[in-house]
Structure 1
Amino acid sequence: MSDAAQTLAKTLGAPLPAEFDSLTEADLTALDGLLRGALAGRAARLEAATETSLQLIPRLLRPAVKKVLGL
Structure 2
Amino acid sequence: MNAAVADAEWTVHRACPPDYRKIAQELARLGAEAARRARATGDRHYDRLACTLTSRAGAILDDLDRGGKP
TM tier, shorter chain?
Answer: 0.3 to 0.5
Larger C-alpha radius of gyration, 1 or 2? 1
The TM-score with structure 1 as length reference comes to 0.38
